[in-house]
Amino acid sequence: MLLADFVRAEEASGPVAVITHGTLAHKDMELIEALQESLAEQGVSSLAHTLSLDVSARRGMYDCERRHTHRDEDADGEISAWIDWLKTRGHDRLAVIGHSRGGKQVARVAAKDERLSAVVLIAPATANGAERAYKRSPTLEGIVMQTTDGTDLTYVKTASFLYCGPTEATAESHASYHPEQPTGAETYTPDIDVPVLVIAGSKDTTVPEVPAIFIPMRSDRLRFELVDGAGHMFLDFYAEDAATLISEFFSELTVEVDADDLEMANAELYAQADLEYGEYLGSECASCHNADADEGMPPIAGLEAWYTHLALIQYANGERENSAMSLVARSLDDEQRIAVAAYFAAQIAE
């Protein structure tokens, strides 16, 4: 069983973010909790999950003493599963945020997954860092153990595993975290097609090379921001600074929504929308839109659902500019936009 916390922003606009923690950590660590809270205050809904690391419903830090069977790549499937989970609940714009090793893992997922709108890497793990870990971790001796079903499993006793010190791990687990050919977030960012924001702390001693790696990689697609004073864990209000950078970055994303795609993709959602809820939300719209047509107010009753839905998305993200409509559109989440669009589509134009 996998665990996650979904924190919904009241006035959500922009993508919903899936947040992945760093090495052996969890969703309730200080940085992740503070980040979710600040993001919600700034209009970004997010889901923070705990990687299982082969432990069902894992809570708290992974116990270093526990024999390690998990692999770095196992994270990818879990991140994708949360993306699927949000998609099936109607969140059509999604982003990933990863801290430290989680940054490298989300970058690896985003290089292949075409459903994402943006990627944020906070103090991401680099190939240099992985190389340092490899050199620190000579394998000491192999031991063969029997699993309960009688098959042999090779464990290695290692002088140090990740930051754990001496412990035991399967050969696969050890090799995956201490590979001979190290990779880092920078290995995957060139293959990501959507905007990437890299955030580094100026006092980060865990991955001090992040600015040196990513500043030269800046482009239309990759933005780099340095948080002055922040260490690797972004403690003491630095999480808030990171959240501000993220919400600004998300709000500047322009959505290239293709009307045909929207109509096709959402046909079922429009058909199933809660029209009573739409009517309830729509009373606010009517106060302006039912006014005298002479005043130049466009009529919205009878517009096709996808058209109203798209217009609301565009007012919310600034692609269409009108201060009254932007305010209205940003106060609705996507589910509400769909309900109200379906409601007006069912009305007869006068």
Least gap, CB of 288 to ligand HEC (angstroms): 3
Using CB under 6 A as the binding rule, the residues of this chain from 117 to 156 that contact ligand HEC are none
Q: Which residue has the tokens 């989300």?
A: 106
Contact with ligand HEC (CB under 6 A) among 300, 301, 313, 339:
300
Please identify which residue in 123, 242, 285, 339 interacts with ligand HEC, judged by CB under 6 A: 285
Determine the Cα–Cα distance for residues 185 and 198; give it in Å rounded to an integer: 10
At closest approach, how far in Å is the CB of 335 from ligand HEC? 13
Largest CA distance in the chain: 85
Smaller CB separation from ligand HEC, 55 or 303: 303
* Distance of closest approach, residue 209 Cβ to ligand HEC, in angstroms: 47
**Which of 67, 115, 132, 320 lies at the binding interface for ligand HEC (CB under 6 A)?**
320
Task: Give the three-state DSSP class for 238.
Answer: helix
Q: Token pair of 4, please?
A: 């996650």
Task: Report if residue 289 touches ligand HEC, rule: CB under 6 A.
Answer: yes
Ramachandran sector of residue 165 (left: φ over 0; alpha: ψ -120 to 50; beta: rest): left
- Residue 295, number of CB atoms within 10 A of its CB: 7
**Hey, what are 102's tokens?**
């989680």
Contacts of residue 10, Cβ cutoff 8 Å, sequence gap at least 6 = 40, 43
Q: Which residue is nearest to ligand HEC (CB)?
A: 285
Name the one range near ligand HEC by CB under 6 A: 3-11, 49-57, 80-88, 323-331: 323-331
Residue that the structure tokens 């798209």 belong to: 310
- Closest approach of Cβ 294 to ligand HEC, in Å? 13
317 binds ligand HEC (CB under 6 A): no
Find the part of the chain contacting ligand HEC (CB under 6 A) among 18-26, 60-68, 213-221, 295-303.
295-303
Measure the CA–CA gap between 153 and 174, rounded to whole angstroms. Answer: 13
Question: What is the rounded CA–CA span in Å between residue 225 and residue 215?
Answer: 9
Phi, psi of 87, rounded to the nearest 5 degrees: -60, -45
Contacts of 196 by beta carbon, 8 Å cutoff, 6+ apart: 107, 110, 118, 119, 120, 121, 189, 221, 222, 223
> In one letter, which amino acid is 263?
E
**Among 328, 338, 339, 342, interactor with ligand HEC by CB under 6 A:** 328
Nearest-approach distance from CB 325 to ligand HEC, in angstroms:
4
Token pair recorded at residue 250: 């998300």
Name the minimum Å distance from CB 285 to ligand HEC: 3
Segment interacting with ligand HEC (CB under 6 A) among 60-68, 76-84, 218-226, 317-325: 317-325
Rounded to a whole number of angstroms, the minimum distance from the CB of residue 273 to ligand HEC is 13
Residues in contact with ligand HEC by the rule CB under 6 A? 281, 284-285, 287-289, 297-298, 300, 303, 308, 311, 320, 322, 324-325, 328, 340
